[in-house]
């Protein structure tokens, strides 16, 4: 694979970086020379991710912690900085989701998604701040189109992701004086991910999702990794506070046309 970026000597921390899009982002940075630290709840997934990242020839460490646990997150970030050095890039990607109509979500269910996405994101960003290599550090949140595209069966996720993106904007203002850039990436329909499997749980639904993208295809994890590396690179040193869709144009029109079909597919899967 061609190396478009050079993160040699840089330290990257990826919260949620043991599976799906977040692991793909971590792999992208590892392929381009970075040291990696990853965090997620499952020690088994942490160990597997660390082994995979080390296969690229880079230093990698991992930590098992729940992003809802402020003390555990703070400890993991401090340990990562101690092991690998100040953090040049922080990627916050922990998320929770399940399809349910608003009338079918319990208070605990709604709160769980808000706690993972919003409170968890706050913990990761807040407790990373003392360990960021500032000025020059880059923070990237991995959001979702539910932050600005209303979707049936996703009221909890829509509310949570909107919170994540607003947190991005506020911290870009507050931390800009420290020389820290804060941005969000909004992945569109990405093939081979757990999230996409939930939103399009049948081959037919998956095909329709791809057809709704103006570029005519589902995205790949590598597409998101490339966007993250761009935002963290010297090419983007004057970019902060943006919420950047990486979706092949899906959110321009395809999203509006396709969300009812997504909801229909989720209902069909639930009743099967």
The closest of 147, 143, 136, 141 to 175, measured between CA atoms, is 136
Compute the distance between CA of residue 72 and CA of residue 92 in angstroms, rounded to an integer. Answer: 15
Backbone CA torsion sign across 138, 213, 221, 153: positive
Nearest Cα residue to 124 out of 208, 202, 9, 38: 38
Q: How far apart are CA 99 and CA 109, in angstroms?
A: 11
Cα–Cα separations (whole angstroms), residue 35 to 31, 68, 89, 180? 10, 25, 10, 19
Q: Each residue of 114-163: pLDDT tens digit?
A: 999 999 999 999 999 999 999 999 999 999 999 998 888 899 999 999 99
Q: What pLDDT does residue 251 have? A: 87
Domains in the chain (CATH in brackets) are 11-271 (3.40.50.720)
Closest Cα to residue 180, out of 227, 129, 127, 126? 129
What spatial distance separates the first Cα and last Cα of the chain, rounded to whole Å? 42
8 A C-beta contact, residue 254 and residue 214? yes
Sheet holding 138-142, edge to edge: 60-64, 35-40, 11-15, 89-92, 138-142, 181-187, 243-246
**pLDDT recorded at residue 258:** 57
pLDDT tens digits in sequence order for the chain, 272 residues long: 456 799 999 999 999 999 999 999 999 999 999 999 999 999 999 999 999 999 999 999 999 999 999 999 999 999 999 999 999 999 999 898 888 899 999 999 999 999 999 999 999 999 999 999 999 999 999 999 999 988 888 999 999 999 999 999 999 999 999 999 999 999 998 988 877 777 677 787 788 888 888 998 999 999 999 999 999 999 999 999 999 999 999 888 755 545 666 666 666 655 65
Q: Within its chain, how far is the Cα of 205 from the centroid?
A: 23
Q: Which residue has the tokens 């996720």?
A: 157
């Amino acid at each position: 694979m061609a190396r478009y970026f050079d993160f040699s000597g840089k330290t990257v921390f990826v919260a949620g970086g043991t599976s799906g899009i977040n692991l793909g982002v971590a792999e992208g940075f590892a392929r381009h020379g970075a040291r990696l630290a990853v965090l997620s709840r499952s020690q088994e997934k942490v160990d597997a991710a660390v082994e995979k990242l080390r296969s690229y020839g880079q230093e990698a460490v991992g930590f098992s912690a729940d992003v809802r646990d402020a003390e555990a997150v703070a400890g993991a970030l401090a340990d990562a900085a101690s092991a690998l050095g100040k953090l040049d890039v922080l990627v916050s990607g922990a998320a929770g989701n399940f399809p349910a109509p608003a009338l079918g979500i319990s208070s605990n269910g709604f709160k769980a998604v808000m706690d993972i996405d919003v409170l968890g994101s706050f913990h990761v960003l807040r407790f990373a701040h003392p360990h960021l290599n500032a000025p020059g550090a880059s923070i990237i949140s991995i959001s979702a189109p539910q932050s600005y595209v209303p979707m049936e069966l996703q009221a909890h996720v829509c509310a949570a992701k909107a919170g994540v993106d607003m947190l991005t904007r506020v911290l870009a203002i507050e931390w800009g004086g420290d020389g820290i850039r804060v941005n969000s990436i909004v992945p569109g329909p990405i093939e081979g991910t757990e999230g996409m499997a939930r939103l399009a749980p049948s081959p037919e639904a998956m095909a329709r999702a791809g057809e709704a993208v103006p570029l005519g295809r589902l995205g790949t994890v590598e597409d998101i990794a490339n966007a993250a590396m761009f935002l963290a690179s010297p090419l983007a040193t004057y970019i902060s506070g943006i919420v950047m869709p990486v979706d092949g144009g899906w959110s321009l029109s395809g999203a509006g046309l396709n969300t009812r079909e997504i909801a229909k597919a989720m209902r069909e899967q639930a009743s099967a």
